[in-house]
Chains A and B, each alone.
Chain A
Amino acid sequence: METLSACIQHYDLQRVATWSSQIWDALKFEVLNASEDELADEALKTLRVMAEYLSYGGLTLQRLEGTPLSRFVNLVARECLKHLHEPQQRYARQSGQILGNVASGSPFAFHIVVKVVFPELITLIEDVNSITKKRELLEVINKVLEARLELVKAQESSEFPSLAILDAVSESCAEGTMAHGGLTFFRDTLFEMFALSLTNSPPQESPIRITAVTGLLKLVKLPGFLAPVETGMIIQHFDTLILEKNNDEDDLKNEAILALREIARLHEQSVLDICFSALLGSLPDSLTRDEDVEDCLPVLEALARVGSGGHAFVTLSLRLRNKLGDVLQRSISQVYAHALLASLLYAVRQREAAKLHGASDNSPISVYDRNGAVLVEELYLSVTEVSLLMDRRNVISGQPYTGLRSFKMRDGSKEPDETMVDLVGKIGMTVVRSMDVQDQEWAADHVFTLFAQIPSDQVDMEFVTQVTNRTLTLSMYLIAGLHREVNFPANK
């Protein structure tokens, strides 16, 4: 098969065209009755190469009719459709793979696949009663949409006309011609179909709902395909999934969270406006019982995962910090506050992991670090305050130091407990250690003042360790994150 691919790439168009239907006949069995995955994959790849190479030679959308490409793709698409019509749908998955691969060959191949397959496939999906079958058919659409996303990705380096132009051409062509009827014609139908599959399927049928989530995500990812309103609706659908109370289907929730995170990269503002408000709004202002914190954890986790990158992180950390203040004022115990901090820690760790794996965060590194630094400073300052040292007879000696701040909670003031200090410290450590050496000087300057407005050279460590050693936890975590080569203020 590798030879076959190579031949297709090097023989002239006419010869390949003559053999295309025979090659299809030979290859389709490898895919349909796949005994080995490797063989099937190779066959699919060959089909794709075929679709790609038949598309060269200055084709245009209007003149597709009767070309070797059109003959080949038509043949393949019709046969796949036939399989999809079969009551048993034994070959639904394979047909999806074939269609997806052929469609990803070139924009022209994609156009023909959509034109031939989608009208019938959509009627089929609307008519089918069994949920499993419906899911399989939706998966076929997902495969084709996947092909479109691949084409979009490859567009920069390809010789084919851009998809946007082809869409425009297709829309302006007369009905009944080959060029008419590209993907844009199915925009509303697809959107509606996926949305309905998500909302109207019974809650326990999570496979089809997951398929619907994937489909909707693909629609959002297609550049300029959906209107902002529709994107907003999709985000709302995903929020609902995350907030669904009696939803034990973790896979589905997970899928929704991942989808939201991807959308956040493309439509940041929409996600911030719609998703964060919905999720944060669902969190109570205070808890009557500590055990209720369990209910908030999934939402907090979702927030942390959606908001771990870029601008979303800034908003998330701001909102959660405000929430933290409110919560402490209204609560008796600090358990809820722990959950909020843990969620921030989780977000910070996700950011660190993303940075290690080549920064999916698209903000420049300096901004990235500044956002983290702001969070750490604010958090540190929220649990500490500047005090003056007192001697044994409670006479103020004038030595300023940073001690723990007492929160005004519902039943009086309390110092932050161990867990709270520890969580704040760990957030500090995680942010600091992902910075460059130079940027870390910001933290090195403050390891003992803890960002308070007191001159670092007036902190008397001998006293501090005796009077207020619980803040040393905060100092410890800052130091833990520092590079060995960092400049302490004393060494400057």
Chain B
Amino acid sequence: MSEISNVPQISPLHLKFDAPKVCSMLIRHVSEFAGLMQGAQDSVFGLIALLFNKFVPAQSANVESKDGPLPQDLVLEGLKSLDSKTNDQATNIIRMSVIFTMAANLKGARGTADLLHMLVVLLGNKRYGLKLAKEFKYILAPSELLSKENYALMRGPYKQRPYAICVPQIVTLFKSSDDPGIKSSYLVALSGIFKYTPTEIILPEIESLLPILLQSMDEFGSSVKAASIEVLRTAIAESPTSIEGHLRSIINRLYDRIHNTLDDPSDAPSTVRALALKCLGEIPGHLNITIALRYKTEVLRELEFALNDVKRNVRDEAVRCRFAWFNLAEKADESD
């Protein structure tokens, strides 16, 4: 832009390219204006996340910058004012906050913990809790924008942090809550966190989580079921001893999922039924044979239903599962 050479080097307008300032401005914009155009919200959220992660320098603690409050604080404020906003605005604020938290968590920015705490508290919000719960996985999901290829700042225990901060808090809140709607929000959020947290981080604490996982298999929608079954499956394969004591209840709940007949249809779609069979099939290879053998006859009997399932992929999985259980006896026989 050389033709405008007489513009002074530091004009007030120059500050408009100041990344922290643009970032804060966009956050305010999302929090205060309702009319974000369709198709542009994601770009605005993406911009905020990119600017914050890559171009907003870390602030030293307790220093209010001369440019006004920090972006983190602006986001927190937005979340606090949720109830006074219209539906559209609230949705925008929630989605922005989740993406912002992702960006903050990646670089381990100051205030990440506060944001995570705040989000967990908001899961209990009657109006927006479920909406937020569904977005929770984006805190951890790999992002196309903030990636290594795009030079995103990724440091510290960003894979563990949301788990470490949110899960204990969610479990406590889950136990003390009576509202089934809110309870389900907690589980949706949990399954989102589980989905993208490396299993070796989840596994050591699996035993304390089992009650919640089992309950979520019974009560909630298919995505929660699938998530909890998936977590169980890894638990069976990676740390069989921790679930030995709960095998009876696990197996019973898996039966309920795979039991799909015309008169008594299963509450789970075919993908979840197949997943449940996969999970059931992990037991013979990993658990102590003597414990597993006790269930052999009844599992084989229950599998008859799954072998007649209307869906091909379920039948496929049932055959594999039956094979696994069938083999179990032969191994035991040989060792006798």
Residues of A within 8 A of B (CB): 418, 421, 429, 433, 445, 447-448, 454-462, 465-466, 469-470, 472-473, 475-476, 479-484, 488-490
Q: What's the Cα separation between A28 and B151 when bound, in Å?
A: 55
Question: Please, which residue of chain A has its CB at the minimum distance from the CB of B39?
Answer: A418
Chain B residues with CB under 8 Å of chain A are: 1, 4, 7, 11, 13-19, 22, 25-26, 29, 33, 36-37, 39-40, 42-44, 46-47, 50-51, 54-55, 145-146, 149-151, 153
B37 is contacted by which of A458, A459, A469, A475 (Cβ under 8 Å)? Answer: A469
Tell me, rounded to whole Å, the shortest Cβ–Cβ distance linking B203 to chain A.
Answer: 34
Does B40 contact A470, Cβ atoms closer than 8 Å?
yes
Task: Given A459-B16, A466-B33, decide whether A433 and B149 contact each other with a Cβ distance below 8 A.
Answer: yes
Whether the pair A455, B1 counts as a contact (CB closer than 8 A) is yes
Smallest CB gap from B29: residue in A: A465
Least Cβ–Cβ distance between B17 and chain A, in angstroms:
4
A-side contacts of B153, CB under 8 Å? 484
- Measured between alpha carbons, how far is A490 from B151 in the docked complex, in Å? 21
CA distance A433 to B44 in the complex (A): 20
Q: 6 closest A-B pairs (Cβ-Cβ)?
A: A469-B40, A490-B17, A473-B43, A472-B43, A457-B13, A455-B4
Check if B17 sits within 8 Å of A489, measured CB to CB: yes
Q: A455-B7, A469-B36, A490-B18 are in contact. Are A482 and B54 (CB under 8 A)?
A: yes
Q: A460-B13, A472-B40 are in contact. List 20 more A-B contacts (CB 8 A).
A: A433-B149, A433-B150, A447-B17, A455-B4, A457-B11, A460-B16, A461-B22, A465-B25, A465-B29, A469-B37, A470-B39, A472-B47, A473-B43, A480-B50, A480-B146, A481-B150, A483-B151, A484-B151, A488-B55, A489-B14
Among B7, B16, B36, B50, the residue within 8 A (CB) of A479 is B50
Q: In the complex, A445→B33 CA distance in Å?
A: 28
Which residues of A lie under 8 Å from residue B36 when comparing CB positions?
469
Q: Give the distance in Å from the alpha carbon of A461 to the alpha carbon of B146 in the complex.
A: 23
CB distance from A410 to the nearest CB of B (A): 23
Chain A residues contacting B11 (CB-CB under 8 Å) are 457
A475 and B47 CA atoms in complex are apart in Å by: 8
Task: Say which residue of A448, A455, A476 sits within 8 Å of B50 (CB atoms).
Answer: A476
Q: Chain A: which residue is nearest B35 at the CB level?
A: A466
Q: B43 touching A488 by the CB < 8 A rule?
A: no
- Cβ contact within 8 Å between B25 and A461: yes
**Which residue of chain A has its CB nearest to the CB of B18?**
A490
Q: Which residues of A contact B150 (CB under 8 A)?
A: 429, 433, 480-481
> A464 — nearest CB in chain B belongs to which residue?
B16
Beta-carbon contact of A488 and B17 below 8 Å: yes
Our pick among A458, A460, A462, A469 for the contact of B43 (Cβ within 8 Å) is: A469
Q: CB distance B17 to A448 under 8 Å?
A: yes
Q: Which of B19, B44, B47 contacts A488 (CB 8 A)?
A: B19
**Nearest-CB distance from A481 to chain B (Å)?**
6
State how many angstroms separate the Cβ of B229 from the closest Cβ of chain A: 35
Residues of B within 8 A of A460 (CB): 13, 16
Q: Report the bound CA distance from A465 to B30 in whole Å.
A: 10
Contact assessment for A484 and B25 in the assembled complex, using a CB-CB cutoff below 8 Å = no
CA–CA, A319 to B33, complex, Å? Answer: 43
B55 close to A457 (CB less than 8 A): no
Q: How far is the CA of A377 from the CA of B37 in the complex (A)?
A: 25
Per the bound structure, the CA–CA distance linking A489 and B11 in Å amounts to 12
Tell me the complex Cα distance, A462–B12, Å: 14
* Nearest A residue to B26, CB-CB: A465
Q: What residues on A are CB-neighbors of B18 within 8 Å? A: 490
Hey, which chain B residues are within 8 Å of A458, CB to CB? 13
**Chain A nearest Cβ from B56, distance in angstroms:** 11
Whether B13 contacts A476 by the Cβ 8 Å rule is no
A305 to B153, CA, bound (A): 32
Q: In the assembled complex, which residues on chain B have CB atoms less than 8 Å from the CB atom of A445?
A: 1
- Cα of A489 to Cα of B14 in the assembled complex, Å: 8
A457 proximity list for chain B (CB < 8 A): 1, 4, 7, 11, 13-14, 16-17
Contacts of A473 in B (CB 8 A): 39-40, 42-43
